[in-house]
């Protein structure tokens, strides 16, 4: 187990380039199974989850080469339909291999996926959508056995705009006969990136980024070269870290449209933000103010993945803030560690009330999930004294070179 040791109280100042998005690269890697060809993918972030997905693809029969942040995946060989449980349980995105394998092989066996422990996270909407496309599903002893003798396009109305379900249905529908329409689809930028990757390969998909996605089945796909979109959650985390230390930072390689929900809230708190075409600068002149209400929502609402980091920031803002977590049922595990650091936070169900304190104090805390862990790093950066964050393997799932990047902009953080 590794840990970060942070000496708080230093302003972070400088420039960081944002890596490709974890939640984009993982479904796109799964999608490389479809074309049975070579796929060259640039700006792949060096993350634990990406390593696991590469391992999974190799076991399934793909040839994978890594050259810096470019990954070349050749899926022209024979592909297996059974996905090993131990790796599937290590992350959430492994479940999109289901749609990809059904598309390519018309069958797949996979267990229930892992990922951050932030609530029950069922996959009923994935399975319901796949069944509507004609997939026969049997569950036994935790394994889902799927067969898709005859995938047929149809209209699917999602009860909730689930990111993973939207991705799985898109993947399964690429070769389905006729037209598939997904209504109430997730609108996240990572879905649009998946569409863009698949269309470059010859798929006929439109509407990603809106509630209605249309997929016209095609017969075959071609090799692709693609660059992953910048990670809006990583960008948001660095902006929050900059704000929490009253710093002065510039982020490069960001899509400004994708980070608008964070920009709006940071401005409400009193941060000064200036946007360029693909960059954003943040500085802070006065003490930050509380934010009346933050309600996490599907995109373009405020992202649940930044709920924990912004809570760390609000723990030191002037006044009382309210955060309502509407997406996941149990995403406040970081609260007890923030309280250990001196924060005044009360939680009732999905609502957290944060009364800003003048200071936070360094403490020994534990990263219990990916973004909760990032929040504790943010808190450590702006706390007095030393903070030790244990179990940082969770953070490795989603942040490339986290402490190295923070060091490069003046943070006192080491990995042990």
Ligand X SMILES: CC(=O)N[C@H]1[C@@H](OP(=O)(O)OP(=O)(O)OC[C@H]2O[C@@H](n3ccc(=O)[nH]c3=O)[C@H](O)[C@@H]2O)O[C@H](CO)[C@@H](O)[C@@H]1O
Ligand Y SMILES: C=C(OP(=O)(O)O)C(=O)O
346 in a known ligand binding site: no
193 in a known ligand binding site: no
122 in a known ligand binding site: yes
125 binds, among ligand Y, ligand X, none (CB under 5 to 8 A by kind): ligand X
Among positions 173-202, residues that touch ligand X (CB under 6 A) are 186
162 binds, among ligand X, ligand Y, none (CB under 5 to 8 A by kind): ligand X
Partners of residue 139 on adjacent β-strands: 144
Residue 334 makes contact with ligand X by CB under 6 A: no
Residue 158 makes contact with ligand X by CB under 6 A: no
- Residues 395/376, Cβ–Cβ less than 8 Å: no
Among positions 11-40, residues that touch ligand X (CB under 6 A) are 23, 26
Closest approach, Cβ 6 to ligand Y, in A, equals 21
Distance CA 36, CA 74 (A): 7
Q: Mask of contacts with ligand X, 52-91, x by CB under 6 A?
A: ----------------------------------------
23 in a known ligand binding site: yes
Residue 163 makes contact with ligand X by CB under 6 A: yes
Bin 68: left if φ > 0, else alpha if -120 < ψ < 50, else beta.
Answer: left
DSSP 84-129: PHHHHTT-SGGGHHHHHHHHHHSEEEEE------SS----HHHHHH
Six-digit token string for 115: 């990922």
Residue 276 makes contact with ligand X by CB under 6 A: no
- Residues 382/245, Cβ–Cβ less than 8 Å: yes
Among positions 363-392, residues that touch ligand X (CB under 6 A) are none
Q: Which is nearer to ligand X, 120 or 149 (CB)?
A: 120
Cα-based angle 127, 132, 135 (whole degrees, multiple of 5): 65
370 binds, among ligand X, ligand Y, none (CB under 5 to 8 A by kind): ligand Y
124 binds, among ligand Y, ligand X, none (CB under 5 to 8 A by kind): ligand X
Distance CA 204, CA 218 (A): 7
Q: Which is nearer to ligand Y, 133 or 377 (CB)?
A: 377
Closest approach, Cβ 94 to ligand X, in A, equals 9
371 in a known ligand binding site: no
Six-digit token string for 143: 């394994």
- Residues 128/199, Cβ–Cβ less than 8 Å: no
Of 302, 328, 332, 399, the one binding ligand X by CB under 6 A: 328
Closest approach, Cβ 119 to ligand X, in A, equals 6
Residue 126 makes contact with ligand X by CB under 6 A: yes
Closest approach, Cβ 230 to ligand Y, in A, equals 15
Distance CA 24, CA 7 (A): 33
- Residues 88/56, Cβ–Cβ less than 8 Å: yes
258: which DSSP letter? G
Residues 44, 116, 271, 382: which is the catalytic one?
116
Handedness of CA 34, 38, 42, 45 (dihedral sign): positive
Distance CA 322, CA 279 (A): 29
Residue 121 makes contact with ligand X by CB under 6 A: yes
Nearest to 270 by CA among 232, 306, 243, 245: 243
Kindly list the distances between the CA atom of residue 52 and the CA atoms of 94, 103, 242, 264, 270, in Å, as whole numbers in the listed order.
9, 21, 31, 35, 40
Q: Where along the sequence are the contacts to ligand Y (CB under 6 A)? A: 91-93, 115-116, 305, 370-371, 398
123 binds, among ligand Y, ligand X, none (CB under 5 to 8 A by kind): ligand X
52 binds, among ligand X, ligand Y, none (CB under 5 to 8 A by kind): none
Q: Which is nearer to ligand Y, 115 or 247 (CB)?
A: 115
Distance CA 107, CA 130 (A): 12
Of 305, 325, 337, 390, the one binding ligand X by CB under 6 A: 305
Q: Does residue 300 have a cis peptide bond before it, meaning omega lies within 30 degrees of 0?
A: yes
Q: Is 116 a catalytic residue?
A: yes
327 in a known ligand binding site: yes
* Contacting residues toward ligand X, per CB under 6 A: 23, 26, 92-93, 119-126, 160, 162-165, 186, 304-305, 327-328
Q: Which amino acids are annotated as binding site for phosphoenolpyruvate, given as ranges?
A: 22-23
Catalytic site positions:
116
């Amino acid at each position: 187990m590794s840990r970060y040791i942070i000496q708080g109280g230093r302003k972070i100042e400088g420039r960081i380039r944002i890596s490709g998005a974890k939640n984009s690269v993982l479904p796109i890697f799964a999608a490389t199974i479809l074309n049975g060809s070579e796929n060259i993918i640039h700006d792949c972030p060096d993350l634990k989850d990406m390593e696991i997905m590469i391992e999974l693809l190799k076991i399934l029969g793909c040839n994978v080469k890594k050259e810096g942040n470019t990954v070349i995946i050749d899926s022209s060989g024979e592909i297996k339909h059974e996905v090993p449980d131990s790796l599937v349980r290590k992350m959430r995105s492994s479940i999109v291999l289901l749609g990809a394998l059904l598309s390519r092989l018309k069958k797949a066996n996979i267990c229930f996926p892992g990922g951050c422990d932030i609530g029950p996270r069922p996959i009923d909407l994935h399975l319901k959508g796949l069944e509507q496309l004609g997939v026969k599903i049997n569950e036994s002893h935790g394994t889902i056995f799927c067969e898709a003798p005859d995938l047929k396009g149809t209209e699917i109305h999602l009860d909730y705009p689930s990111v993973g379900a939207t991705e799985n249905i898109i993947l399964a529908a690429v070769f389905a006969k006729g037209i598939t329409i997904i209504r109430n689809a997730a609108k996240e930028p990572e879905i649009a990136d998946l569409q863009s990757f698949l269309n470059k390969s010859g798929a006929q998909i439109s509407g990603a980024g809106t509630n209605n996605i249309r997929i016209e089945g095609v017969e075959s796909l071609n090799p692709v070269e693609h660059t992953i979109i910048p990670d809006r959650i990583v960008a948001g985390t660095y902006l929050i870290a900059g704000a929490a230390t009253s710093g002065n930072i510039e982020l490069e390689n960001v899509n400004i449209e994708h980070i608008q929900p964070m920009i709006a809230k940071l401005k409400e708190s009193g941060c000064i933000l200036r946007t360029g075409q693909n960059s954003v600068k943040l500085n802070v002149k006065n003490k930050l103010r509380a934010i009346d209400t933050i309600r996490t929502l599907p995109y373009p609402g405020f992202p649940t993945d930044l709920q924990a980091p912004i809570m760390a920031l609000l723990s030191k803002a002037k006044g009382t803030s309210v955060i309502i977590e509407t997406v996941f049922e149990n995403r406040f595990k970081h609260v007890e560690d923030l309280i250990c650091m001196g924060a005044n936070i009360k939680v009732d169900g999905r609502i957290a009330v944060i009364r800003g304190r003048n200071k936070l104090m360094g403490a020994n805390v534990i990263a219990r999930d990916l973004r909760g862990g990032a929040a504790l790093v943010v808190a450590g950066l702006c706390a007095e004294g030393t903070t030790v964050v244990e179990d940082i393997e969770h953070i490795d799932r989603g942040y490339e070179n986290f402490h190295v990047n923070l060091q490069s902009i003046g943070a006192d953080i080491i990995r042990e």
